[in-house]
Amino acid sequence: MIILADQDPEYLTNMKLQFDRQRTNLQLIPCRSLSELQEVFTAIGSSINLVIYNPVDFPGLPESLGDTGKQLVDFWPLIVGASGNQTDEQPVSVYRFCRICDLIAKLEKRQKDLASITLFPSENQHASPSPAVEFYLLMSATATGYQAAISRQRLRQMIGSGQRVIYLAIMPTYQMCCLSAPGIGPSLSDLLLKLMGKAISPEQISQYWQHNPNGYLQFRPPDRSDDLVLCHPDLLRHLIVILKERLEHDNEPSKVLIDCAGLPLSTISVIAVLCNICEIIMPGNDNFASEAARREISQFLALLPGTCTIRETRSDG
C-alpha cells in the first residue's frame, strides 16, 4: 500500500484516478496534510509499503512521523518536473509530472531489487486456508441507516455453517434488533471499563456474552445507549483484539459478526482492519446522499489491508 502526500487536491485526484485505471495491485492513498497522514499510519501503519511525498508541503518527513515511520520500507520525495536522469548514488525520487507507466515501472523494478520486500504480492502469497476464526464486519452507508433484516440474514447464514457464531453489535442500544433481553451478568459497559484499566485477559471475555435463542452467542448490551458509540476507538480495537486472542486460543471454528451502526467511519476503519471480511450496504439510487456515500466509502476502503475481502450489497435505502 502506497501513500501519496501532496497538498494539491487536483493532483491527488488525478494521480489516484490514473492508478486505478492501470488495474495494478497497487493501492494508492492520497493525503493532503500531516494530520491526515498520521491518521492513516494509526489505522493501517503495518500495511504501508511506501510514502511518496512533496518535501515542500511535508518538510521534515519521515522524522515528523516519529516512531510510526520506522515500519515503512522507504520515503520517496516528489521533484518538480516531468523527467530527468538519476544516478545510482542519488536517493530514489519521483518526478511530480512523470508518466504513470514510468512510475509503475520504477515500483516494479524496486520489487525485484529488494528481494525481502514485496510491494506487489502475488495471489499465491495471499492464498491460505480458510481461517478457523472469521471476523465479519457489516455496516450500512444508506440514508436509512441500520438494516436489521440483512444482519439477521447474515447470522442465519453463519449458523448454517455449523460453526460457533458470536454476535457483537456496536451501535446505540435502541438499534440492537438482533439481541435478546440481557440476562444476569456483566455488560459491555462493564467490559469497556475493564479495557480502560487494562484489567481483563482474553480468557475472561466469555463472562460478557450469553446465548441467544436464535442459536448464537451475543454480548450483553451496554447500560447506556451511547456507551459504545462514544467510547474511544482504541477501546473497540482492544476489544476485538482480545476477542480474537480468546477464540484463537479455543481452537474452535468460529464466526464473529461485528454489526456497526451510528459510528464515524474513522472508528469503523480501526475495527475493519482487523476483520477478514467487510460488507458494506451501499445505496442503489442516485442523489447527493448516495454520491457522498460512495465517495466516503471509497476512501474508507482504501485504508483496508489486502487481506480483507470487500463485499458490497446494494439497497434502495
pLDDT truncated to tens, each residue of the chain (317 aa)? 788 888 888 888 888 777 777 655 567 788 888 888 877 777 666 567 788 888 888 888 877 776 555 555 578 888 875 555 444 444 467 887 778 778 877 776 765 554 333 333 333 444 444 568 899 999 998 888 888 999 999 999 999 988 999 999 999 999 999 999 988 999 999 999 999 887 788 999 999 999 999 999 999 999 999 999 999 999 999 999 999 999 988 888 999 999 999 898 889 999 999 999 999 988 877 788 888 888 888 888 887 887 888 888 877 65
b/e map 239-266, b = 16+ CB within 10 Å: bbebbbebbeeeeeebbbbbbbbbbebe
Residues 64, 23 within the same domain: yes
Residues 223, 120 within the same domain: no
Residues 185, 114 within the same domain: no
At residue 280, φ and ψ (nearest 5 deg) are: -120, 125
Residues 304, 169 within the same domain: yes
Pairing state between β 164-170 and 309-315 = unpaired
Distances (CA, A) of 19 to 2, 11, 190: 11, 12, 46
* Domain of residue 34, CATH code: 3.40.50.10850
Cell of 102: 514510468
- What's the domain range around 195? 133-315
Residues 24, 153 within the same domain: no
Bridge partners, 5 (sequence order): 31, 53
Residues 233, 277 within the same domain: yes
Q: How far apart are CA 298 and CA 294, in angstroms?
A: 6
Residues 258, 277 within the same domain: yes
Q: How far apart are CA 255 and CA 167, in angstroms?
A: 9
Q: How far apart are CA 133 and CA 129, in angstroms?
A: 11
* Domain of residue 293, CATH code: 3.40.50.300
Q: How far apart are CA 121 and CA 117, in angstroms?
A: 9
Q: How far apart are CA 138 and CA 199, in angstroms?
A: 29
- In one-letter notation, the amino acid at residue 133 is V
State which of 92, 110, 126 marks the end of a domain. 126
Instruction: Classify residue 104 by burial, with Cβ atoms within 10 Å: 0-12, 13-18, 19+.
Output: middle
- In one-letter notation, the amino acid at residue 306 is G
Residue 118 contacts residue 95 (beta carbons within 8 Å): no
Residue 53 contacts residue 311 (beta carbons within 8 Å): no
Strand ranges inside 14-71, DSSP E:
28-31, 50-53
Q: How many residues does the chain have?
A: 317
Residues 145, 116 within the same domain: no
Cell of 118: 514485496
Domain count, the chain: 2
State which of 104, 126, 148 marks the end of a domain. 126
Q: How far apart are CA 304 and CA 269, in angstroms?
A: 7
- In one-letter notation, the amino acid at residue 68 is T
Residues 213, 307 within the same domain: yes
Residue-level pLDDT at 217? 95
State which of 126, 146, 165 marks the end of a domain. 126
Residues 169, 307 within the same domain: yes
67 contacts: CB under 8 Å, gap ≥ 6: none
Residue-level pLDDT at 1? 72
Distances (CA, A) of 87 to 55, 90, 93, 185, 192: 20, 6, 11, 67, 55
Cell of 206: 466469555
